[in-house]
Amino acid sequence: MPHLAVGQYTGGPQQTRKPGMGRSRTKTALSVALLLASGALAAWAMRGGPDLPRSCVFVCVATGKTFNLKIDDVAMIPAKNPETGARTLLPCGMGEDGVLRVDAHYRGALVNLLGGVNRHVNMTTLEVGPGDGS
């Protein structure tokens, strides 16, 4: 038997394979998998959620009037009163008991920034009313 070189084919019809043929299929499979994964991620990111309110009720601590303002129009708290131009508006909401109150988060703004002009929000209970704010 003659000596064969290492890796030399020894019999039967030789199968020819184009260089890189297996790599091409692997790349295609990976591309399809990445495309599907990115589509699933995009669909998950754009899924519907609860609609957030576009406006909020504010009370003027000086006049007691309430205003329904668009969130996009409010740059800072206290917000600007559209009638007077003074920054005397704080967010408020109706409690389960039917009483309008300033949100507790804004107690510091009421006490420290608006205490001198407050005439309609009780500083202890945060209830909005016709009183003098004490």
9-63 pLDDT, tens digit per residue, is 555 555 555 555 567 788 888 888 888 888 778 777 777 666 667 888 999 999 9
**Which letter does DSSP use for residue 112 in this model?**
I
In this model, does residue 86 exceed pLDDT 70?
yes
Predicted structure pTM score: 0.59
Strands (E), the chain: 55-60, 66-70, 79-80, 87-94, 100-102
Structure tokens at 124: 């202890």
Is it true that the peptide bond before 50 is cis, omega within 30 degrees of 0? no
| Residue 104: alpha-carbon gap to chain centroid | 22
